Structure 1
Amino acid sequence: MKILVGSLTYPLPNGVTNSINVSLDGFKEAGHELIVVAPDYGTGKFRPEHYPVASSRILEIVSGSYGNGERFFSLKAAGQIQRIIAELNPDAYWLHTVTWAPNIFEVIMAQQRKPRVVTYHTNIDYYGRVYAGAVGEKHMAERSREVCQAVEQIIVPSHQIEEKLRALDVSKPIAVIPTGIPPAHGALTPKELRQRYSIPQENKVLLFTGRLVREKNISGLIQMMADLCKLRSDVSLLLIGPGVHKDFETEAESLGVKKNIVMAGQASAQEVRRHYPAADAFVSASQHETQGLVIGEAMYAGLPVIALDSPIREEFYPQSVAVVVSEQASFAASVNKVLNDEKLALKLTEAGKKFFAKNFAVQLMIDRQIKLFNSVVGPATPKPPTS
C-alpha cells in the first residue's frame, strides 16, 4: 500500500509531526510506503520519506504569533507534487493539516480518484477565536466541515473531537485513533536536568512541554507558579517548546516569579522526552486540546500529572490517573500536595503507566491505522518488512 501524506507543518516540532513520524515508522515496518509532502522550511529532508516542496512565507507572516512560523505551499509546489504523484502512484491520500484556506495539496488531492483521508488534529475553530474573534471561529468551523465532507474517511484522536465534528454536521465516517507515543532513550538524570538549566539542585521541577502560545494557556501556568511560590520557594517551572517567550517572560516578571521559570526553547521530540523522568511533576493548564499528547508522554515516563479540567479529561487524564484541577484558584495547592506527598505521586505514576499502556501504545495506533486504510483502499500485498 502506497500513501501520499500532506502536511503544512512537517517537520516542525509539534504533535502533528510526532504523529506522522510514528505512522511513518509503523507503516514502513509493516511493509507499506508513505511519503510526506510539506513546504520547504530550509532544513532539507528530515528523513528519507520527507519530500519538501516549494513554500511561501505568507502563512508564516500571517500566523507569526503562533510561535512556529508555519508556511504555505507556493504555486510552484503544484508541479512538484504532481511529479511525486506520477512517480509514487499512491493508493490513497492522507491530509494532516486543516487551515483557513485550501492549500495546494488539498486541492490536488480533491482532483484524484483515489481514496482520501484526513486526520483532524487540532481545535482550529478555537484557534480562530483566539486570533480572529467570533468571525475567525465561524470561518474555521466552516472550513472543518468543508474539508471533512470532501474525504472518504476522517481520523480523530478523541471521541470529544468526533462529537464536535458531528455537531458541525459532518456525516462522513469517523474513526477515533489516539496517537501512539514512542519510548524515550537516554533519559536525563535529575542532577543533569538541573545543571543544564541552572536550577538549584534542591528545587522541585515542574515540567510543561509544548508550544508557548496563548491557546495553551501558558498564563495559567505562570499564575499557578505565582500562587505556588507563596507556599514554597524551592520550586521551578521548566517550559520546553517554541513560542513567543518574551510576552510570557514579561508576565512572569510582573508576577514576581521570573527567577522560578525557565523557558528552554525548542527541542526535538526525542530530546524533549529525555526530560520527563528527571522532573518531579508535569503540569498543564491547556483546556482546548484534542488529545493532550504531552500528558501521555509524561505518564509513559512515570511522571505524576496535575492538569486543569478540560473536555478531553475523561479520555486522556481521568481522575483515577491524574490530579484534575477544577479551577485556577486551586491549581497551586493541588501541585503542592503532590510535591509533598510521595505516596500520592507514586500512586499517580503507577496508575498513569498502566493507563498509557492500555490506550496509547504505538502498535495499537499502527494496527488501527493500517486496518482503516485497508478498508478504504482495499487489502493489498505489502512489501516485505525492512530488516
Structure 2
Amino acid sequence: MRIGIFTDSYKPYISGVVRSIELFTSEFEQMGHEVIIFSPNYPGVEKEKNVYRFPSVPSLAHDDFYLALPFSWGLKNFIKEKPLDIVHVHSPFILGRLGARLAKRMGIPLVFTYHTLYDQYTHYVPLGKDFSKQITRKMCVNFCNRCHLVITPTEIISHHIKNMGVTSPVNWLPTGIDLSEFSNSDRHWLKNTYKINPHDIVMLFVGRAGKEKNIPFIIKSFSLVHKQHPHTKLFLVGEGPELDNLKNLVKSLQLEDSVIWTGKLQREELIKAYCGADLFVFGSLTETQGLVIAEAKAAGLPVIAVDAFGVSNMVSHEEDGFLVQPDIQMFYQKITQLINNPDLRRKMSTNALRNVQKISSHQCAKKLENYYNELKIKAMVEKQRKEALL
C-alpha cells in the first residue's frame, strides 16, 4: 500500500503531530508499506527519501514554524509516478486541503487525524478571538465531513467533535509509543548533567512554551511545593513564545535556582530526561491526547495532570497518576502526596509501565492499517457499483 501523508507540521519542527507521523511511518515501513510525506520545506533541510517538500514561508506567529505554499510544478508528475492508495491528512488547513483535493481527484479514501482542538488556539489571533473561534470550529467540522474517516487520539475527543457536528465516521486511535526507546535509557543522565543532588525529587514538564500549555499553573503549583519541600526541582523542556514571560514569573517567585530550563532536547536526551525524573506534571487544558503523558508513563513516571479533554483518557486516576481540577491548591496537594509517599510513587510507577503497554506503536499501527484496508474495500465496491450503472 502506498500512503500519502499531508501535513502542515513536520521535521525539523518538533511537536506531537510530527512525532505521531514519525512513529506511524516507521511502523508502516516495517510492515512493507510505502509512506510518502508531503510537508513544508525548512531552510537547510537535507533531501529525504519519500518526503516531498513544498516551498514555504516563516509563520508570523512562530519563528520556528513554516507555512507551505501549496503549489508545485512537479507535484502532478510525482503523483503520476507514485500513485497513492490512500491519503491521510494531519491538518484541516493548507496541505490538508491540498491532500483532500488530490484524494477526491484520484477517487481514493481520505483520512484525517484530528490532532488539535484548533478553536482553543485562537489566542494567537490578534483580533476577534471569539469570532475566530466560531469560524475555526465551523471550518474544522466542514473539513471532517469531507473525509471518509476521522481519527481522534482519544475517545473523549471523538465524542467532542461529534457534538460539534461531525457526521463522518469517527474512530479513536492514540498515537502509540515506541517502548523500546525507554527500555535501557540512562536514568542518571538528567541529574548528573544538570548537577542535581541524587536525593532531590525532580518534577518534569515537556511541551511547547505557549499559552495553551498552561505552564504558569505548573510553576505556581511548584512554588507551593518547594516551600514545603526545598529538595525539589522543576525541569521545563521546550521552547516557545511564552518563554520570556515564564522566566519572569519564575524570577518573581524567587525560584531561579530550582526551576531548570533545558530548551529543546534531542530525542535521545529527551528519553533520558523522562527516565531521570521522579514525577511528570502537566497543566494543559487543550490536549486531544497529550503524547508526552504516554511517554512519561513509558519511563515509569507517575503523572499529575489537569483533568481536561484528551488527558482524561491518558491517566488512570489513582492508579498511575492523579487527575485534578485546574486548581493550584489541589494540584499542589497531589504532588505533595506523592513526594511524601515513596511506596505510592513506586506503585504508580509500576502501574504506568503496565498500562502504557496497551498503546505500543506497533499495535496502534496495525489498527490503522485495518482501517485503511476497510476503506480501500469500500472504495473499490463503490467504484464497481458506479461502473455497473453505466
Map residues 69-84 of structure 1 onto 2, 5 A cutoff: 69-74=64-69, 77-84=71-78
TM-score (norm 2): 0.89
Counterparts of 1:103 and 1:262, CA distance in 2:
40
Deviation digits for residues 82-102 of structure 1, max 9, x if unmatched? 332122100111101234897
* Secondary structure of the structure 2 residue equivalent to 1:56: strand
Contact 1:92–1:115 (8 Å) recurs in 2: yes
Counterparts of 1:22 and 1:236, CA distance in 2:
31
1:227 is aligned to 224
Match of 1:273 among 271, 285, 302: 271
* Secondary structure of the structure 2 residue equivalent to 1:259: coil
Contact 2:90–2:96 (8 Å) recurs in 1: no
* Secondary structure of the structure 1 residue equivalent to 2:72: helix
1:241 is aligned to 238
Contact 1:44–1:52 (8 Å) recurs in 2: no
| Alpha-carbon offset, residue 166 of structure 1 | 0.9
2:383 is aligned to none
Counterparts of 2:136 and 2:94, CA distance in 1:
6
Counterparts of 2:47 and 2:352, CA distance in 1:
32
1:285 is aligned to 283
Deviation digits for residues 342-379 of structure 1, max 9, x if unmatched? 10001111111221112x11121011110000011239
1:52 is aligned to 53
2:27 is aligned to 26
Instruction: Supply the AA of the counterpart residue of 1:324.
Output: L
Deviation digits for residues 316-339 of structure 1, max 9, x if unmatched? 102122122232222222212212
Contact 1:99–1:140 (8 Å) recurs in 2: no
CA separation of 1:80 and 1:260: change in aligned 2, threshold 3 A = farther
Counterparts of 1:257 and 1:250, CA distance in 2:
10
Q: 104-113 or 221-230: which moved more?
A: 104-113
1:374 is aligned to 373
| Alpha-carbon offset, residue 56 of structure 1 | 2.2
Counterparts of 2:321 and 2:22, CA distance in 1:
27
| Alpha-carbon offset, residue 71 of structure 1 | 1.8
Counterparts of 2:202 and 2:56, CA distance in 1:
40
* Secondary structure of the structure 1 residue equivalent to 2:269: helix
Counterparts of 1:116 and 1:238, CA distance in 2:
40
* Secondary structure of the structure 2 residue equivalent to 1:274: helix
| Alpha-carbon offset, residue 107 of structure 1 | 4.3
Q: Which runs of 5+ in 2 are unaligned?
A: 380-390
CA separation of 1:99 and 1:235: change in aligned 2, threshold 3 A = farther
Q: Which runs of 5+ in 1 are unaligned?
A: 381-387
Deviation digits for residues 232-287 of structure 1, max 9, x if unmatched? 21111111122132121011111221221111111234431221111111111112
| Alpha-carbon offset, residue 222 of structure 1 | 0.9
Q: Would you identify which runs of 4 or more consecutive aligned residues in structure 1 move more than 6 Å?
A: none
Structure with larger RCO (C-alpha < 8 A, sep 6+): 1
CA separation of 1:102 and 1:294: change in aligned 2, threshold 3 A = closer
Map residues 126-145 of structure 1 onto 2, 5 A cutoff: 126-129=120-123, 131=125, 133-145=129-141
CA RMSD of aligned residues (A): 2.2
Contact 1:129–1:135 (8 Å) recurs in 2: no
| Alpha-carbon offset, residue 33 of structure 1 | 0.7
* Secondary structure of the structure 2 residue equivalent to 1:189: coil
CA separation of 1:47 and 1:197: change in aligned 2, threshold 3 A = farther
Counterparts of 2:276 and 2:49, CA distance in 1:
32
1:364 is aligned to 363
Instruction: Supply the AA of the counterpart residue of 1:309.
Output: D
Counterparts of 2:335 and 2:73, CA distance in 1:
53
Q: 111-120 or 181-190: which moved more?
A: 181-190
Counterparts of 1:193 and 1:233, CA distance in 2:
19
Counterparts of 2:3 and 2:262, CA distance in 1:
36
Contact 2:287–2:311 (8 Å) recurs in 1: no
Contact 2:89–2:96 (8 Å) recurs in 1: no
Instruction: Supply the AA of the counterpart residue of 1:262.
Output: I
Instruction: Supply the AA of the counterpart residue of 2:227.
Output: K
1:350 is aligned to 350
